[in-house]
Each structure stands twice: as structure tokens, then as C-alpha cells.
């Protein structure tokens, strides 16, 4: 991966995530149907929020770091945002050790 300024790299990643959200939303609209033939049951904010939650979880898997090169920064940012999560790479390592 080529080196670039942090701000430019984040703008590029944000554009990529936005495009993927639109792509997955279009895919749902075109291909997903309930038994009644509707795209989704209702279009209120809670329904859209649920769909976005599923899409974001899919994107989390796609964008998950493949190495531990920036683990320190990741830990510091998790503290900064007061969040915690288990990365897939860590879960796989634990399973291999078992």
C-alpha cells in the first residue's frame, strides 16, 4: 500500500465505505425480497437503522486490519472513543493455540 498523508488516506477510506454502503443498499433493493415480495417490511427509521447496522458489520469484516502493525494506535483509539471489540485475527489466533 502506498504512503500518503493521513487526512488524504482517511478521505479515501471514507469515500470507499460510503460507496460500499450504497452498493450494498442497491443490492438489497434489487435482490432481497420477503415472502410477500416486498423489499423490506416497512421503511421507518428503525428499519433503515437495522439494515445499516447489518451493512456496517459486514464492512467491519471487510476492513479489518490484516496485521498487528498498528495495534498500539488501535488500542489508543479504542480508549479515546471508549469502545472495545474483539478482532477476528485475535479470535483465530486463540483458536489455533487451543
String of DSSP letters for 57-91: HHHHHHH--SSSTTHHHHHHHHHHHT-----HHHH
Query: Per-residue confidence of the chain (98 residues) as pLDDT tens digits?
Result: 567 799 999 999 999 999 999 999 999 888 887 777 776 665 677 778 888 999 999 999 898 888 888 889 999 999 999 999 887 765 555 566 66
Amino acid at each position: 500500500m502506498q504512503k500518503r498523508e493521513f487526512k488524504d488516506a482517511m478521505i479515501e477510506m471514507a469515500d470507499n465505505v460510503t460507496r460500499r454502503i450504497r452498493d450494498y443498499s442497491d443490492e438489497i433493493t434489487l435482490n432481497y425480497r420477503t415472502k410477500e415480495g416486498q423489499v423490506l417490511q416497512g421503511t421507518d427509521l428503525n428499519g433503515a437503522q437495522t439494515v445499516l447496522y447489518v451493512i456496517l458489520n459486514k464492512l467491519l469484516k471487510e476492513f479489518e486490519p490484516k496485521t498487528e502493525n498498528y495495534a498500539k494506535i488501535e488500542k489508543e483509539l479504542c480508549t479515546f472513543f471508549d469502545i472495545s471489540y474483539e478482532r477476528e485475527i485475535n479470535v483465530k489466533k486463540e483458536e489455533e493455540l487451543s
